[in-house]
Amino acid sequence: MTQLTVDCLSDIFEYLENDKETLYSCLLANRLWCESRALLHENGISITTPTLNPPLFNYLSFCKVLSICTIDHIILFSIKPPQRILAIQEILKMIVRISSLKKLDCIVTVDIRVDLSHLSRVIDCLKDLSLLKINSNLDFKLFYILSQNCQNIKSFAIQFKSCVLRGLTDLIFSQNNLMHLSLMRLNSISSLSSLITKTFRHLNQVRNLWKPRILGQISRNNGKNLRELYTDDDSLNLASAKFCLNLFSLLTAKFVNTEELKLILDNCRQLESIQVFYHVGKESLEVVTKYSQKNFMN
């Protein structure tokens, strides 16, 4: 029987990323579980082996998407803290030793603090990353190592936990093909002041920025490439109309008046949709009907 190539199987698993029921059928026993079983057992965590038969493939090698929150959700009701954190760390170590990841989501809930320092010792597994989601309070050494070895991230999301640590700006600036940038819960711009002067050649989506100054400057420097802009600050509407002329999608809090909405529709002539957080009155709907382009959908 003809066997599928590694690349083909990898694409199949990635396609089934959100099909949990189908992916579950692939969770056969693997000898790599034995490497962490002793440590887990010492901490009250028991992992049974469902079969003595060896698997057909080394399934972990096909793992291209890794989410700490997803792992935590799987073991949430069977393992209690602090054993839960230890289990997550051991699973992470096991996967990154054998797999080359394309998507890594390290954003975690407030009650979980997972040590990711071991990633710096297995950096080869992260060289092909195209999506990275992290908290800002990681070890700054990890930021520096990632900036030197992971320079082709296309989608980058940062959730700010406290202050912005050293190395984070370097990690953002090192990206050659950054297309999507999301800065969540950003309370201070002092540590990211240099970000507002940066031009990202391929950047086409920016979202969840709470500080108008940063988003306004990013729009000024990168507006011609932006296709999607998402913010909860309506003071940036005029900047969008002035600098982001090629937008396809805009999400904002509200429009100060109908003239502001009309200006956006007149200038951003490729707009296909506008979403607002607050109620849109009859006058605004009439402006959309009158001034939107034929490709406008919402």
pLDDT tens for the chain, 298 residues long, are 445 555 665 566 566 666 655 544 544 433 433 444 554 555 555 555 555 676 777 778 888 898 888 888 888 777 777 788 888 888 888 888 778 899 999 887 655 667 777 777 778 888 889 999 988 877 778 888 888 889 999 999 988 776 656 788 888 889 999 999 888 766 555 556 566 567 788 888 887 655 556 666 777 778 888 898 887 777 778 888 888 888 999 888 788 788 888 999 999 989 998 888 777 788 888 888 888 888 887 5
For residue 32, the model assigns a pLDDT of 37
Write out the two tokens for 115. Answer: 């040590």
Half-sphere exposure of 37 (CA within 13 A, CB side): 11
Handedness of CA 253, 257, 261, 267 (dihedral sign): negative
180-184/131-135 β-pairing? unpaired
